[in-house]
Amino acid sequence: MQNLKSKLLAEFLGTFWLVFGGCGSVVLAGKFFVTHGATPINLGIGLVGIALAFGLTVLTMAYAIGHISGCHLNPAVSIGLFVGKRFAGAELLPYIVAQVLGAVAGAGVLALVASGQADFTMADGFAANGYGEHSPAKYTLLAGLVAEVVLTFFFLLIILGVTDKRAPQGFAPIAIGLGLTLIHLIGIPVTGVSVNPARSTGPALFVGGWALQQLWLFWLAPIVGAVLAGVVYPLLAGSRAGEGK
């Protein structure tokens, strides 16, 4: 039981870091202006910086807690690994609860920090995911659904592949972190990128309104993509596919 407690605490802290670091890069550093004389200068990190921030949160946590909990940080990842016979069903629900609580806590601390700026408002979106009017580039519901399914499918395919015992050892966190970076480089304009129901839930609870109304998509699509990957990878990799870490 103590072992499970350690795993759940690791998942809580890891998901906290993902939301605080990744969403924090959007809220705190995406656009950051300083005044030089009378001219405001944008020192924000932009789309590329935000994509790197999300990838780096997962890469750093994978090395820090991967040996404790597997560093899922994402209900879709846990479900995909379960479908791919890499994760015990008895731990699935506790993992998801820990991940969601970590995401909510991360969003809460981020809100506290962000509110220290006089101009801060939740109306800017607080890194919540959305489609239609609330898509960063006004992409439709269908576009958001397809993007989230496809991006999550390939994210899980990467995870299942690089954690297979037959893959080169020691590099999995790098591949997974870079994979998530690439996913954000592709998908930020479409939905702001979820591929993670917990990551979407944290900010949505603070934004409320439209973010909660659209949250269903960011649970459904990543889970569908993850389940598909959990089915496809064993077929692709053969009978030893379940022998991952």
101: domain CATH number?
A: 1.20.1080.10
- Is 243 within the bounds of a domain? no
Residue 240 pLDDT:
56
- Is 103 within the bounds of a domain? yes
Q: Where are the alpha helices (DSSP H) in the chain?
A: 2-18, 24, 46-69, 75-83, 92-114, 141-162, 172-191, 197-207, 209-213, 217-237
Residue 239 pLDDT:
60
Range(s) of the domain holding residue 40: 2-237
Residue 244 pLDDT:
46
- Is 142 within the bounds of a domain? yes
Q: DSSP class of residue 1?
A: -
Q: How far apart are CA 31 and CA 34, in angstroms?
A: 10
Residue 2 pLDDT:
61
**Domain total in the chain:** 1
- Is 207 within the bounds of a domain? yes
- Is 244 within the bounds of a domain? no
Kindly give the confidence (pLDDT) of every residue in the chain, 245 residues in length, as a single tens digit, with 9 standing for 90 and above. 569 999 999 999 999 999 999 999 999 998 877 777 777 888 889 999 999 999 999 999 999 999 999 999 999 999 999 999 999 999 999 999 999 999 999 999 999 999 999 889 998 899 999 999 999 999 999 999 999 999 999 999 999 999 999 999 899 999 999 999 999 999 999 999 999 999 999 999 999 999 999 999 999 999 999 999 999 999 999 865 544 44
- Is 242 within the bounds of a domain? no
Whether residue 158 contacts residue 229, with contact meaning beta carbons closer than 8 Å, is answered with: no
Amino acid at 159: I
